[in-house]
Structure formats: C-alpha cells, structure tokens
C-alpha cells in the first residue's frame, strides 16, 4: 500500500465501532453491523448524545477534508465524546496543526477542542499496527479490572501515546490512567475524561 494511503483523516466511535472518512483515499463509513451509526445502551451518554457525537465527528472530518494540505500532508484522527472533540495524529508543521484546529472550530455542537496533534511526519503502517495492538492490550486490561467501566472508555493510541476519553468518576479515571500507563510499550497517557459524580453513575 502506498504511503499516502495512510495519510488520511479518520474518526472513530466507542464500543468497537469504527467509522473512517479517508479523504484523498477511499471513503468508508461502516459500523459493526454495516450501519453508518451505532449506539450502546451501556454507554453513560444518552442515545441522542451518542448520535450527536457521531454526527459531529463526521462534520469535523469533513471540514478537515476541505484542505488539500491537511489531506496530503497530515494524519489526523477525530474523536468526539459529550461534545468534546479530541484531535490526534501528526502534522509536519505548527501551521497545519493550527489549521486543523481552526477547521474543527467551524463545527457547531463542540464545547471544547483538545488539539493533541503532534508535530512530525505521519506515522507509517507498521507504527499504526503497533498502536492497534497497544490499544487492544489496554482494553483487555480494562476488562480484567472491575474498577474501570470498559464500555465507557475510549482508547486512542497514536505513535505509542495513549489518549483516554469517557464519562468516569475520578476513581475510575485514575484507575484507567494507571492501568494504561503500566502497559508495556506505552510512552505517555493523556486524559480527556468527562468526570462525573458517583451519584450520577449508573
């Protein structure tokens, strides 16, 4: 596969569903059962919020795709949880990193943007494969630990750096970070949680 095929703008959903918008490559929008969107009854967000987050992520990916420079020179992932957007990936310059943030700001229904795009050339296929492996190991550790509500945590890994999103109590969030930090191969853990009170949790 050509290197440019990996330089795509993607966005993903919680609960094992992945929707990819690969601008400049092939457009793909498939859920776990072949649907464009999916929701989880075990998610602490309402079903309406889950769908809104999915729609918002798609809109951000679309805005990013309007820039030829972002399409051709960057690798950016978009994640939206409770109207908070997280941008991860790589851009070769600060100007392109800022351009991505400005594009995301054009989309309504976003309360906050975490711009975690790193300055550098887009990572290659082997690094992406390792990131997928690391994410699977972290999720497996979450499943084995009753403290972490696995279905309410989104695990994003970029170049061995872990980003965690979700609606968790402070205790759950701290446990999730500690687990991810101690997985072999993880270089850093960044949290972007929506912290809730224990009385608010199911």
Q: What pLDDT is attached to residue 40?
A: 72
What is the rounded distance in angstroms from the CA atom of residue 77 to the CA atom of residue 61?
8
pLDDT recorded at residue 7: 47
135 and 104 belong to one structural domain: no
Q: How confident is the model at residue 41 (pLDDT cuts 50, 70, 90)?
A: confident
Confidence at residue 175, expressed as pLDDT on a 0 to 100 scale: 97
pLDDT tens per residue, range 112-170:
999 999 999 999 999 999 999 999 999 999 999 999 999 999 999 999 999 999 999 99
Same domain (yes/no): 35, 68: yes
Could you give the percent of the chain with pLDDT greater than 90? 75
Q: Are residues 16 and 114 in the same domain?
A: yes
What is the rounded CA–CA span in Å between residue 57 and residue 118? 19
Model pLDDT, residue 4: 45
In what side-by-side order are the strands of the sheet with 84-91?
A: 18-19, 9-12, 75-81, 84-91, 112-119
The answer to whether the beta carbons of residues 13 and 35 sit under 8 Å apart is no
Q: Say what the pLDDT of residue 152 is.
A: 94
Domain count of the fold of the chain? 2
93-116: average pLDDT: 97
- What is the pTM for the complete model shown? 0.80
- Residue at which a domain ends, from 95, 119, 143: 119
* 83, 134: one domain: no
């Amino acid at each position: 596969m050509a290197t440019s095929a990996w330089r795509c703008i993607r966005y993903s959903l919680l609960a094992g569903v992945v929707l990819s918008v690969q601008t400049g490559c092939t457009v793909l929008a498939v859920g776990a059962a072949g649907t464009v969107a999916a929701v989880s009854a075990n998610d602490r967000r309402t079903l309406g919020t889950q769908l809104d987050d999915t729609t918002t992520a798609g809109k951000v990916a679309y805005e990013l795709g309007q820039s030829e420079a972002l399409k051709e020179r960057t690798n950016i992932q978009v994640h939206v949880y409770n109207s908070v957007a997280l941008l991860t990936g790589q851009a070769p310059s600060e100007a392109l990193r800022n351009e991505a943030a400005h594009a995301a700001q054009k989309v309504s229904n976003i309360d906050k943007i975490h711009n975690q795009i790193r300055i550098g050339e887009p990572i290659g296929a082997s690094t992406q494969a390792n990131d997928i492996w690391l994410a699977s190991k972290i999720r497996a550790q979450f499943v084995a630990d009753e403290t972490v509500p696995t279905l309410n945590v989104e695990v994003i890994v970029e170049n061995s750096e872990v980003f965690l999103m979700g609606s968790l109590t402070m205790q759950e969030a701290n446990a999730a970070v500690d687990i991810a930090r101690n997985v072999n191969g993880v270089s850093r853990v960044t949290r972007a949680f929506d912290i809730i009170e224990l009385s608010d949790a199911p």
